[in-house]
Structure 1
């Protein structure tokens, strides 16, 4: 087939030079019949014939150059397509040679590992200077020696975590020698690790929080069964304790269910038009009995005009209830709780302020974490679950609202929610 193609190409080139060869032959024959065959005529014939052969050679050479250029263009275009495809991958990709030098990295790797510096083939960068992981280097060596692919998890300073797939590179373009080259694909699982850690801690904390009151309930029940008839006063005391612990379990379960409910609905668009004035008035009224019990002065200040936002009425009621109840429970006797709602710069701002003991600055950033308590024992005595502010934070986030907490020891605490007005 190749020989046939070569003969065909030569035939085409020969046809291209036929006019020159024909002219040379015609002049030679004319001179011959005219009896003018001289050295000059031979020279003319030779020059013209040589010109024809030169045309054949040039045409063949041009055809070869065109073919080479087409092949090179095809390879360059194919290579650019591959690079573009690798750069569009959702995760980081790095290729190293047998010296562990980086010979390519894509756009995501550029952002994560190379301070957004674009790949430059002139740079000599060793993989260990970017990802100092003994596990990764050992796995690369294993992949080379056993001609296998491997998946491992690696971390950088215990801050970034990657699910890493390692495999030998496939044969390169134009049979390029790429022996020992390895492809490393790094999927960023930092957020998954964080969520997994939160879930594990949450389950552990929830189990602990439930275990304590249940153990108390079981102990009290056993005592009442064995000795309850002997001492009516003890029986009454233990029954009250049973009721308190059962209520504590119920409150904890309700808070856990509330958190789960909020997380399931966090991506649902809010569409309801709600009046903050009415919700705050309802919540304040529902806490009047508690304020009398705790001997707290509740002061309410809301605007005359209605304050409308887009939100979920039940969620907002729950958030306001948690915040105002905290201000009442963690206040001094005869203390004040001031609830103030006002508008400013297209925002509705709700401030809930008490003049209680106050909170140290070191605790403020963690107050909305699940099960975080400034004083665990005091919180349990007051019926707290450690989930109240976490619930408020979820509700605020869903309403695109800002939660601010400020406090001073000996002066009290102020919690603010800032909403966008309708």
Structure 2
């Protein structure tokens, strides 16, 4: 393929025409000589084209091309070299694919590739153990048909995969698995599954330990606080000098009781995934009660607390749990907002679900603390909890209540300019009050 094809073709045509004209000069039939010459050339060209077609249709991978002459010989050789190069490239790609498949097959974690509709395309051997997938009959099946846990379907259909999902394995209820979903390419999904049974057992042991210790400490603390209250009522008869010490002991005892109650509530929230008393809750009246309590907590501080709530928007869930979560957010706003500050509570619904917002003009929180605010006992400033009497568990309780109600907490804050805590509830958790909706 060293010659210029275009020039070679022109030279061949000139030679053919020249030869035909010479034959016409000898015979005296120029037209017939040119027609016969061109016809013979066309026939030869068609024959070479048929040979090329037959070779492309029936040739084996390493079979050499047929012998050709002139331009057609170069065409045969060029196609052959292109095929050999393509085979080498495909061989290298196949080697890479084989190596990736071998390495993923050796993983203890499951790797599953899904198309944009959630149908199974490929998985490694660990997926067969952890999820019970079967090769090849499950190929092309929707993953939600094979992993039928209700929380997995909700997790797969949502748009946000920042948090992992932990559920029992479809093959063994005693095995706990953790699933991670990632989108890539043309909206395909890559799902990673790992066995977290040991971690789950350790976490369960921790929960049981905290719950048992909290329960056992409750009785002696109740006795101690009861005797302290009795002594305070009769301190003048006992010894007036003990008054301050008894008051401090009672204060710390009450704080310890609050801490134990919060720990027991957290243990209860972590025990199940869904609230047992799941029914529509009138959030507007619930927030009105919380607002009144917050106003009483604010006392003489002159804080301005407002409530804007849509009475027709109800929320499916446990009223007690929601009261605990919402009151934590509102009371925190009261505690950390300066005197004469403003606190705005809003409850509304839109096409994305229902939302509760608690906005204050308080001291604010540095952005570096925001990701860890819902951790247990995490304190932005250790002095703040001692000053306000907090246990460090309030936002952890809020987080677990929201998780049980298929919701998430969004926190935004600017240091020195206040904070906004927003609870976002999925549309499935929202219902409307028929009576109020009819009036509207």
What TM-score results when the alignment is normalised by the length of structure 1?
0.49
